[in-house]
């Protein structure tokens, strides 16, 4: 029987911001999404003030003033760096981990024998991450991923657990599941939970006791697996190696509404350049490109326009120039002059291994021009990695009036020499 430990950082983005601002300990803190749109991370104090996940910032203005809530724009460069430190620390404690998201991983504890040592493992992991990285984590331990998520949920919710819950005992599983709303089960979202409620399935235990075949018929094979997992039957294995991406997406809401084609084209060129960079970092090339634009769904009284168009390249490519020119053509065909666009994005798909670099070894007959091009792009990537966006394509624009809002950005404490914290 496998044993999974789900380790996840408490209020991750907030904890990252506090790491370099210990004065914020005990104070309400929130971190906003891109464009300073919504609250996506809240400290315990902010949660206690009733701030819900994804509340738009403008609805919080009052509360922020009244309670002196400290507000940050998201600083993904910082979070990604801290995340890596957390994962490296946990990897040293369990050779097999699966990095599941920026702030959590599943560790394989198979072989850690007794219950006593399972809890002990959790305590050690928690203490080590706290000591080495300064991040608070909780650990949930169980024979399936879904149950370990549930155990983690309990570890966070009940202080007396000390942040570590061992849910390997079936009786204990049942007792906890009876207390947990079905909507808090991993894999049960808003829609499905509403339908389950109608069927009289209100708790995790109700779902565990439902007939899996019936659930499959009514819903899908995915929810059937959830039922099995709640019963201690592991159906979702640990996947330590990250699979190659199947899609790369880059999209942004604009800092303000866009009504001019040229401005939108700059933004789309910018997204495309970024996506192409990610593509090359993955050592992949793409065959398809999709562009989408949309007006704001919140502006009910305005004429709406949601459009999406794709194109296919004859040969797989990772060339920013080619991609930008393809994206621009698609945008042109969709564009309507009389709309106020709120968001745009591009997607790359249908990947294949980077032909140039693999062919370099195998064949000598790579056209010189392609090879030159590849060298140029990799030089570009190398420079931009040191200082993001130092070199740009002209089509990405200079004024960048569409750029997102980031009014409360913290310094790049760990990734920029300029922002290194000073010790006085």
Residues that bind DNA (CB under 7 A): 33-35, 37-38, 40, 54, 56-58, 100-104, 149, 185-193, 216, 220-222, 243, 245-253, 256-257, 278, 296, 298-299, 308, 310, 342-343, 345, 404
Which one, 178 or 221, has the nearer CB to DNA?
A: 221
Q: Residue 41 in contact with residue 8, Cβ under 8 Å?
A: no
Which residues does 12 contact at the CB level (< 8 Å), separation at least 6? 41, 79, 83, 102, 103, 135
Whichever of 35 and 285 has its CB closer to DNA, that residue is: 35
Residue (104 or 318) nearer to DNA, CB:
104
CA 219 – CA 104 distance, rounded (Å): 28
Looking at the Cβ atoms of 177 and 373, the one nearer to DNA is: 177
Report how far Cα 289 is from the mean position of its chain's Cα atoms: 22
Integer angstrom CA distances of residue 241 from 5, 49, 99, 234, 296: 17, 40, 9, 19, 38
In the bound state with DNA, the residue whose beta carbon lies nearer, of 37 and 370, is 37
CA–CA separation, 112 and 27 (whole Å): 39
Residue 341: CB minimum distance to DNA, A: 11
**HSE, side-chain direction, 13 A CA sphere, residue 202:** 3
Which secondary-structure segment (H or E) carries 108?
A: strand 104-108
Q: Identify which of residues 26 and 189 has a Cβ nearer to DNA in the complex.
A: 189
The answer to whether the beta carbons of residues 199 and 109 sit under 8 Å apart is: no
Q: How far is the CB of 145 from DNA (least distance, A)?
A: 10
**Considering beta carbons, is residue 33 or 173 the nearer one to DNA?**
33
CB 338 within 8 A of CB 356: no
Rounded Cα gap, residues 31 and 13, in angstroms: 7
User: CB of 278: closest distance to DNA in angstroms?
Assistant: 6
CB of 391 to DNA, least distance (A): 20
Looking up tokens 């080619």 gives 322
CB of 253 to DNA, least distance (A): 4
CB of 326: closest distance to DNA in angstroms? Answer: 16
Q: Where are the alpha helices (DSSP H) in 164-260?
A: 170-179, 190-198, 204-208, 212-218, 221-230
Shortest Å, Cβ 51 to DNA: 14
């Amino acid at each position: 029987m496998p044993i999974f430990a789900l380790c996840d950082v408490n209020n991750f983005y907030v904890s990252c911001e506090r790491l370099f601002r210990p004065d914020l300990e005990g104070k309400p803190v929130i971190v906003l999404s891109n464009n300073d749109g919504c609250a996506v991370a809240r400290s315990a104090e902010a949660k206690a003030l009733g701030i819900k996940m994804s509340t738009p910032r403008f609805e919080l203005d009052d509360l922020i003033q009244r309670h002196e809530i400290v507000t940050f724009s998201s600083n993904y460069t910082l979070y990604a760096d801290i995340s890596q430190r957390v994962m490296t620390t946990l990897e040293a404690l369990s050779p097999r981990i699966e990095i599941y998201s920026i702030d959590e991983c599943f560790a394989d504890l198979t072989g850690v024998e007794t219950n006593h040592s399972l809890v002990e493992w959790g305590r050690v992991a928690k203490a080590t991450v706290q000591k080495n990285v300064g991040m608070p984590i909780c650990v949930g331990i169980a024979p399936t991923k879904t149950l370990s998520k549930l155990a983690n949920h309990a570890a966070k919710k009940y202080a007396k657990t000390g942040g570590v819950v061992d849910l390997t005992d079936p009786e204990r599983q049942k007792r906890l599941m009876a207390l947990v709303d079905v909507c808090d089960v991993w894999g049960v979202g808003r829609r499905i939970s509403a339908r389950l409620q109608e069927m009289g399935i209100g708790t995790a235990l109700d779902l565990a006791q439902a007939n899996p075949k019936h659930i499959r018929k009514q819903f899908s094979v995915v929810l059937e697996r959830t039922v099995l997992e709640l019963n201690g039957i592991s159906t979702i294995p640990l996947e330590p190696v990250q699979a190659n991406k199947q899609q790369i997406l880059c999209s942004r809401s604009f800092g303000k509404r866009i009504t001019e084609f040229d401005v939108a084209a700059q933004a789309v060129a910018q997204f495309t350049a970024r996506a192409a960079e990610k593509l090359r970092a993955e050592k992949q090339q793409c065959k398809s490109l999709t562009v989408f634009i949309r007006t704001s769904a919140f502006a009910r009284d305005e004429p709406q326009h949601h459009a999406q168009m794709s194109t296919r390249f004859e040969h797989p490519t990772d060339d920013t120039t080619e991609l930008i020119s393809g994206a621009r053509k698609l945008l042109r065909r969709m564009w309507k002059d009389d709309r106020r666009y709120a968001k745009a994005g591009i997607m790359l798909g249908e990947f294949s291994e980077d032909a140039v670099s693999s062919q370099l070894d195998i064949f000598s007959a790579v056209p010189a021009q392609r090879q030159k091009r590849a060298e140029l792009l990799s030089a570009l990537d190398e420079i931009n990695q040191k200082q993001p966006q130092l070199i740009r394509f002209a089509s990405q624009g200079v004024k960048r009036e569409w750029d997102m809002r980031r009014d409360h950005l913290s310094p790049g404490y760990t990734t920029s020499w300029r922002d290194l914290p000073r010790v006085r």
